[in-house]
Amino acid sequence: MATVIELPVETYKGPVEPDWCPGCGDFGVLKGIQTAAAKLGIPTHNLLVVSGIGCSSNLPGFINAYGIHSLHGRAVPVATGAHLANTDLKTIITGGDGDGYGIGVGHLIHAMRRNLDVTYIVMDNQIYGLTTGQTSPTTTVGHKTKSTPMGNVENPLNPLALAITAGATFVARAFSGEQKHLADTIAAAIEHKGFSLVDVHSPCVTYNKINTYPFFKERVYKLEDENWDPSDFNSSLNKAWEWGDRIPLGVVYKTDKPTYEDSEIAFKKGALVKQDLRADKKVWQECIDEMI
């Protein structure tokens, strides 16, 4: 096993200061990613952060790494292309619940079933923040928003259950109000070989007055404190549905399966950007001869 040399957290401080609302949970997620990268000793030139559109999707501009601020709901396919071109990169996808679980959910499902070796960190504030407070895919029933003034009538999507059943091999939940636990969870997700989803409850202090810091502080508990075994599929799926007076934090499900990169013959010789992609002369001539 290679020796890990931790780096100063300041290594990942971006040139631009975040412009989120004071108190936004996304500050904690940014610090969590920076702390996790420092803990794992990831060189900045080996780290790629890709996002879609939304308040949280501004994150690549606030961290010292390669970054792509892509289109709404399209962070996963953009990250997939970049990662498959250079599988040596540590690829992290960041965004919000609207971007990832709404517009981009189709891309998310297929990336999970392929078990791509990337990490997706979703800042789940249960509201559309950038567009000033409409209901999102994870908004709870009865929540009054700008788009549901009489109360939301739609059942919220369960991202943890979706990820487990779709094929993600690392599924976790974290909370911006538990900084060390958040950073440790992100580090574990990055280290995991396979698709990792970390659903982070990141309170929107401006537009969501229900799912606040006090709301979560009163309810969250850490699975590791209860000797949780994340390897059992059925137990993990049941745990993913736990919500109410108790909300679990930590690794809900984890398993080891071959990744897409391990199974695809194109990557047997390593990252594509480091391969000689010119056709072998003998093979090329055989193709020509076959066509003539």
Q: What is the pLDDT of residues 164-198, one digit of tens each?
A: 999 999 999 999 999 999 999 999 999 999 999 99
Closest CA to 249 of 276, 274, 226, 278: 226
pLDDT tens, position by position, for the chain (292 residues)?
Answer: 567 789 999 999 999 999 999 999 999 999 999 999 999 999 999 999 999 999 999 999 999 999 999 999 999 999 999 999 999 999 999 999 999 999 999 999 999 999 999 999 999 999 999 999 999 999 999 999 999 999 999 999 999 999 999 999 999 999 999 999 999 999 999 999 999 999 999 999 999 999 999 999 999 999 999 999 999 999 999 999 999 999 999 999 999 999 999 999 888 888 888 888 777 888 888 888 999 8
Cα 155 from Cα 150, distance rounded (Å): 15
Q: Is 90 contained in some domain? A: yes
* Cα angle for residues 226, 232, 233 (degrees, 5° grid): 125
Check which CATH number belongs to the domain holding 138 and give it: 3.40.50.970
Q: Which domain holds residue 234?
A: 9-291
Distances in Å between the Cα of 250 and the Cα atoms of 28, 34, 56, 60, 239 are: 16, 19, 21, 24, 11
Residue 120: beta bridge partners? 93, 197
CB atoms within 10 A of CB 120: 29
Cα 182 from Cα 148, distance rounded (Å): 31
Predicted local distance difference test score (pLDDT) of residue 2: 63
Q: With residue 75 as reference, give the H or E element that holds it.
A: helix 75-85
Q: Is 116 contained in some domain? A: yes
Instruction: Give the pair of three-digit tokens for residue 287.
Output: 């193709």
Q: Is 132 contained in some domain? A: yes
Instruction: Give the pair of three-digit tokens for residue 44.
Output: 């900045």
3-state SS, 197-232, equals EEEEECCCCCCCCCCCHHHHHCCEEEHHHHCCCCCC
What stretches of 86-220 show up as alpha helix (H) in DSSP? 97-98, 105-114, 159-166, 179-191, 213-217
Q: Is 133 contained in some domain? A: yes
Cα 259 from Cα 279, distance rounded (Å): 26
Q: With residue 56 as reference, give the H or E element that holds it.
A: none
- Please tell me whether residue 163 adopts helix, strand or coil conformation: helix
Q: Is 50 contained in some domain? A: yes
Closest CA to 67 of 88, 89, 85, 84: 89
Cα 125 from Cα 137, distance rounded (Å): 10
Total domains in the chain come to 1
Cα 232 to the center of its chain, rounded Å: 22
Q: Is 115 contained in some domain? A: yes
Helix axes 75-85, 105-114, angle to 10 degrees: 30
Distances in Å between the Cα of 244 and the Cα atoms of 20, 115, 145, 182, 236 are: 28, 30, 20, 21, 17
Q: With residue 91 as reference, give the H or E element that holds it.
A: strand 90-96
Residue 247: beta bridge partners? 220
Q: Is 67 contained in some domain? A: yes
Q: Is 124 contained in some domain? A: yes
Predicted local distance difference test score (pLDDT) of residue 1: 52
